[in-house]
Structures are given as structure tokens and as C-alpha cells.
Amino acid sequence: MSPFKHTFLAALIAAVAPVPAQAQNTSAPYLNTLAQSAGKLWFGTAMDTTTREVSDSAYMTVFNDTQIFGQTTPGNTMKWEFTEPSQGVFTFSEGDETIALAKATGKKVRCHNLVWSSELPAWVTGGTWTNETLLAAMETHIKTEVEYYGDGCWSWDVVNEALDSDGGFTSNVFYETIGAAYVPLAFQYAYEAVQSLGADIKLFYNDYGIEYSGTKHTAALALVQTIQGWNNAYIDGVGFESHYSTSWGASKASQLEGMSDFTELGVQIQVTELDVGCSSVPCSTSDLATQAQIYYDTVSACMDTEECTGMTVWDFDDEYSWIQPADYDGEGDPCLYYSDLSRHPAYTAVAEAIQGIDCSVC
């Protein structure tokens, strides 16, 4: 990273000043402190340096508090279109800022992601590929990025959302050109890069709709076994995205069963993108109770599963959530904090789930 970026980030962090109490809430209970005290690696949050978060001092005051969040995931800045916009031309500046910001505030980073069908540059989606040439491009991309960020990443989501809801493979340039083998090959390339570094960087498969039994869950189990059986490939864990809505969510029992199915394969689990959208905004009293219950059940399932090692929400502030009413038929406010940085009842539910006490707000 350039000296300018180091200076910029240092100034940014130093400039985060206290803001009026009514505009934020950084009081106890502290989710990360509670989670770590209970034996988990962290309670964390996604965020992005490419959007307005980093210039929002109230937001950054909450984000920087490692008692609340001990880990971060870059929402977009490490995806292919950001890091290799032209073939062989790598731009890591945005990811550098994420890594530096995390280090400055004592957070671990789940780096996200190396191979996904979305947020790809046009040279990938529109290229004229053969199996050989696309594999070479994928290998170069994976190894260059893993080796560049090194142990600044606690883990990598190597492949993201390879499966459709029906359990088949998502149609994308990798599957259409290489076939299903692109997934274990991606893990092979990532593992080779980690080995070359001599680093302990965990490798994850990340997806939604695999948290509970069903066709996609079964397909994901088979995919993990394929990776495990692939020559010189390795997988450490599976990320349960856990995107829910107050109109539907997985029960604690179904999530416990889902986690058990994967841990029996010898991999760890992490809740990686947790949020629960209200069916309409503002959230009704009923929706807030349901939202709290789904957060509670998800966190409680992780707490009751030894091999579920950490939990991450997909941003904590409704203002910056990807789920906005205009885009999702009125659904919104899925986070633990409202846009004014007061807390949803779900925040209390999460704290109670971590501590193993009954939910008082569900």
C-alpha cells in the first residue's frame, strides 16, 4: 500500500470523534466480547470502503469498537471486477484500505471472494474462452490475489454461490466452459497459493440456502466431498450466508441439523452474511419480534455448535444494507442498527443468544 493510503487511513481513524448519544449506541452488551468469551472467534460485520460508510463518523465509531465487532468482511472490494478489471492488470487499492482499516482497529478479515458468477469484469464474461485458457486466467487471478493479501486475510471465500436453489450448478462462464470441476480446481489453486506463502489462511465455500435440509443443502454437502477428494485441493469450512426475511426463516432446530451435516464432514461452519429483512418499512411491532427471533435462532444454533466458529452480519446499519425497499418490494431494515444508529430489538436478541439466555424481545 502506498504511503498516501497509510496516511489517509490513519487520519480517517484518528478523525473519528464522539457523536451525540442519540445518533449511535455503543453501550453494553458488547457482541464480540460476549462471543469471544463464549469461545467463538468473533462476532463481526461486513462493510465497504467504496461507499459512504468511511466518511460517516457515527457509523465508523460503531464499526471501530472491537467490543462490538471483532472481524470484518469487505462487501465488494476484493471481488474480481474490482481487483482485475482488465486481464493481467491488478488493482488492490480498495482492498488495501479494508485490510489497513481492520488492522488499525484490531479486526480479523474474512476476504471475499475469489470466484463468483457476479461482479465479474466484461473481459471475463464476454471472453472467447477454451477450457485451458479460462483455467489459466482463473489460476492467475486466484494465486495473484491470495499471494498479494497474504496473511492479512484470516480466510478466503474461494468460491461463492456455485449452486442454484434447485441444487444444480449456477450457469456462468466458469461452469459453461470448464464444467463442475471449476470449483475444486479453484480450491486447488487457492491451496497451492496458501502453501507457497507458508501461511495459515482458511479456505471456505460460501452460499445461501444451504443452512437447512433440502436439495441445495444436499448438493452443497456433495460439493464439499468433491473438493475433499480432489488432488491437492483443500477446504477448511463452509459459510452459511443466512439471508432471511420476517416472511420466512430457518428454525434453530433446522439450522442445528444443517450445521451437523457439514461438521460430520470435518469442516467448520461460520455464519457469514446474516441479516433479516422486515416485510415492510418501517418494521411493524410484529416484524421486529419475528426479526429478533430469527436472529436469535441463528446465533443460538451457532453457539450450540462447537464447530461453528464465528458469526458475521452483512453490515450492521440499515442505511448501508443491500436490502432497500425500492429494490426488494418494500422489504428493508434488515440490520441490527437503524439508520440513526439506534439498535433494533434484534441486537438484544443476539446478545441473549450468545449468552444462552431466553430471548426477551422475540
Backbone CA torsion sign across 340, 342, 345, 350: positive
Rounded CA gap, 270 and 308, in Å? 5
- SS3 category, 228: helix
Residue linked to cell 462471543 = 35
84, 97, 145, 273: the active-site residue = 273
Torsion sign (Cα): 184, 190, 196, 200? negative
Give CA torsion, residues 91, 153, 73, 306, to 10 deg. Answer: 160
Q: Annotated catalytic, 273?
A: yes
Under a CB-based contact definition with an 8 Å cutoff, are residues 239 and 204 in contact?
Answer: yes
CB 124 within 8 A of CB 77: no
Position 246, amino acid: T
Q: Which three cell numbers stand for residue 178?
A: 470448464
Residue with cell 461452469: 175
User: Is the backbone of residue 3 left (phi > 0), alpha (psi -120 to 50) or beta?
Assistant: alpha
Beta bridge partners of 76: none
Compute the distance between CA of residue 360 and CA of residue 190 in angstroms, rounded to an integer. 44
132 by Cβ neighbours in 10 Å (0-12 / 13-18 / 19+) ranks as exposed
Cα(120)–Cα(110) distance, integer angstroms = 20
The answer to whether residues 16 and 61 touch, using CB atoms and an 8 Å cutoff, is: yes
Active site residues: 273
